[in-house]
Amino acid sequence: MRIPLFPLRTVLFPHTALPLHIFEERYRLMIGRCIEQRSTFGVALIRSGEEVGEAAEPHDVGTTARIAQVQRLPDGKLNLVAHGERRFRIIALDTNEPYLQGDVEHLASEDVDAPGIGEAAARVVPLFREQQRLALAIGGQWSREIELPSDHDALADYVAGNSELPAEEKQALLEMLSLPARLERLVQLLDRRVRALTDLWEEQRRKKFAGERLN
């Protein structure tokens, strides 16, 4: 199937939301057509090039996005929220339209019923919650309980999409079709992230305490 493509400097996962500000004419045209036809578009991380200007080269694996909310601005620009739906792999690119299009095949997660999936998911959840708690605490914000998907596949994608990880790490997770492997990699990445945030939080508290003692 052929879908319009939106190469970005971000990775979209299924089961996650993506806010977008649409200002380039080519993407206003693309989004307008998607709204009219109630169709999806594809989001793919940029491999080379830039978001603005000449068409960028995207990574082969991306995620289809469905428009959930649209705000039309007086100058013709758009604010929208899109929801990630399905992984895809680009088979061929088409540059006949002002925006990039791709012939794609959908991808599905593998080994979703493998032994130990529940245990792996149970290791991911507390690490993700601790990461969120620490990040908010460092920013001086109160943490709140986040409702996480109960489905293990959806959980892995939600956590990957909502964790502060480098784009290339996220892309690697998106391309990882094996659910057990994806969950195991998330445990490693989140553990590393939690340890880094813990060190930062403790350093912040030490500096604050030292300042209070001096005053």
Helix (H) or strand (E) holding 168: helix 167-175
The predicted pLDDT at position 207 comes to 82
Residue whose entry in the numeric block shows the structure tokens 């289809």:
64
Reference 180, options 152, 203, 148; nearest CA is 152
Task: Identify the segments of the chain with pLDDT beneath 50.
Answer: 214-215
The predicted pLDDT at position 52 comes to 66
The predicted pLDDT at position 53 comes to 65
DSSP characters over 53-113: SSPPEEPSEEEEEEEEEEEE-TTS-EEEEEEEEEEEEEEEEE-SSSS-EEEEEEE--B-TT
The predicted pLDDT at position 211 comes to 64
The predicted pLDDT at position 213 comes to 54
CATH architecture of 2-107: Roll (2.30)
The predicted pLDDT at position 140 comes to 84
Reference 51, options 3, 12, 86, 99; nearest CA is 99
The predicted pLDDT at position 208 comes to 75
Query: Over the stretch 49-68, which tens digit does the pLDDT of each residue have?
Result: 776 666 789 999 999 999 99
- Per domain, the residue ranges of the chain are 2-107, 117-214
Q: Which two tokens stand for residue 82?
A: 């899109």
